[in-house]
Structure 1
Amino acid sequence: MHRHVDAAPGIRLWVEERGPADAPPLLLIMGAQASGVGWPDPFVDLLAARHRVIRYDHRDTGRSTWAFDEQPYPITALAADAVTVLDALGVDRAHVVGLSLGGMLTQLLLADHPDRLRTATLMGTQALSSTPYVRPDGVEVPVEELPGIDPRVLELWARPVPPDLDLEAELDRRVEHWRALSGDALPFDAAYTRASERGIIEHTGHHRTNTAHGRADVFGMDRTRQLARNEVPTLVIAAPAEPVFPPPHPQHLAQVIRGARLVEIPGMGHALPPAVHAPLAAAILEHSGS
């Protein structure tokens, strides 16, 4: 079942629910410039066997309103949108799973709306904390000295996207993008990725790109003190082949969020290929007590 909900004047969000209506709700929050259908259907179905799964399109993605140029907003507004989705569906508290930017938004919810979360799962993201990382040998590493984004990914992101790309050329570009984001540990399935991106484009209704989330103001996102006082059960997924927030970013997250625990998904990068669906879903379901 899908519908639109009002997030702000002139802003509507596309929302979909799967699974039993009376099952514990689980909210999926995608990354920057990513539609909610970026959560692959087979993975969603694994979670929906035991949960009322909710996925949605951020502003300026998918079937939600694209209006950043007319109505700019800070990144923190996207966290408020997640709360709006829960409110619109009558959900008091949900298990929340966030990937990449979605992991940062989930941290904002942990800090600012802990009463709305049953559990939190974070993956492919960085800590919204200035607390240094402590290596196994006890040496402190300042946050700014943690490893950065793989240069291959940065090079792809720096390339301008021609405004007149046809559909097949845009699919070529997206497949190259996901090849780099997937890391080198698991075989990359270009045909699967192309089909997935074609489905996202069909959902959206066009293949135009959008840079709204990259232009949104990121001021005021530090939550060092709140995360250190966290009481929401939190799971951090460690992806050893992650090229955007590589190790030890997951270990740092688990240190700065009070009570967080770490689970590694072998071979995982910054993508959700079929090989990680079962182990990742199993970790989330175990964490949610389902």
Structure 2
Amino acid sequence: MQQAHQQFVDAAPGVRLWTEQRGPADAPPLLLVMGAQAAGLGWPEPFVDALAVQHRVIRYDHRDTGRSTWSFDEQPYRITDLAQDIVRVLDGLGIERAHLVGLSLGGMLTQIVLADHPDRVLSATLMGTSAMSTTPYTRPDGTEVPVDELPGIAPEVLEMWARPVEDHGLEAELDRRVEHWRVLSGGQLPFDPAHYRDLERRIIEHTGRYDVSTAPARADHSGMLRTEALATTEVPTLVISAPAEPVFPPPHPQHLAQVIQGANLVEIPGMGHALPPEVQGPLAEAILAHTGKVG
């Protein structure tokens, strides 16, 4: 693991975000944006190290995750405020423009930033997410599918998300999180419970608590669509297609690549809504090939 530098930045009055930087300080910045309820340590160490060979890699904790301020109950915020936090992280670290890599909700937030602040984005990489656009999906045969008729979240995932999260102690919470990762992984690659248990144990140690915030589900989700801006953006964008994706299954990635002007699509074999060791190398390779084409 490469040496990392930690720093807090201000996102709002009374709200501070934990950040970590790794890689050469003079290398092109690359900011990793995690999904809902997920701390920055959800980006695996070997994956971050692989990107840090060519980039100054930054990962951070969203509000109400990790070591950032848990503020929603006292200061409710909108999901679009979490997109603005990306810009605040760049501002706080003195970064003018960065490559953005977003997973799940992080992919939605990244789309909002590339639409609203294209001058701050060198390139975007989106994975495990859906398009912030009302443009229909065009099938290979030319027929159109309205956005609301695209495939939904897998029933197994919805059933897991519907269960109340109860406190039965640390080990029981680790059991629950490992099962959650099993469901999200999609079943095409071997599942290693020990890998995810170790990951989540490190996240809990980093956070200092093992409860999970429900803030993303309770936050205002309005005002997230960016149909016209995505259709005309000049920001180089890579869309990762994950064939085992259970949250935003194909053709969500294909739709995303259609609605963002000039987007490229790369499939990572076996990938679901998780980052197991088997996908980290091919994924880093695809991202570095994408960012390497940008000035």
The CA distance in 2 between the partners of 1:95 and 1:214, in whole Å, is 27
Report whether the alignment pairs 1:34 with 2:21: no
Q: Secondary structure at the match of 2:211?
A: coil
Name the structure 1 match of 2:107. 103
Query: Using the alignment, how far apart are the partners of 1:118 and 1:209 within structure 2?
Result: 33
1:266 corresponds to? 269
Equivalent residue in structure 1 for 2:6, among 2, 6, 15: 2
Alignment of 1:234-253 (within 5 A): 234-253=237-256
Amino acid at match of 1:206: R
Report the aligned-residue RMSD.
0.6
Amino acid at match of 2:104: S
Distance in structure 1 (CA, Å) of the matches to 2:138 and 2:162: 32
Shift of 1:3: 1.2
Query: What SS does structure 2 have at the residue aligned with 1:13?
Result: strand
- Provide, for residues 240-280 of structure 1, a one-character-per-residue CA deviation record: whole Å limited to 9, x for no partner: 00000000000000000000010000000000000001000
> Which secondary structure does the structure 1 equivalent of 2:89 belong to?
helix
Match of 2:168 among 165, 168, 180: 165
Matched, 1:82 2:94: no
Q: Does 1:275 align with 2:278?
A: yes
Counterpart check, 1:65 vs 2:69 = yes
Tell me the distance in 2 between the aligned counterparts of 1:277 and 1:105: 22
Q: Which residue does 2:211 correspond to in 1?
A: 208
Q: Provide the residue aligned with 2:133 in structure 1.
A: 129
Counterpart residue type for residue 228 of structure 2:
R
The 1-side partners of 2:127 and 2:175 are apart by: 26
Classify the secondary structure of the residue corresponding to 1:62: coil
Secondary structure of 1:187 counterpart: coil
Residue identity matched to 1:65: T
Aligned partners of 2:209, 2:74: CA distance in 1, in Å? 20
Code of the aligned partner of 2:118: P
Q: How many residues end up aligned between the 2 structures?
A: 289
Unmatched 5+ stretches in structure 1: none
What TM-score results when the alignment is normalised by the length of structure 2?
0.97
- TM-score between the two structures when normalised by the length of structure 1: 0.99
5+ residue gaps, structure 2, are none
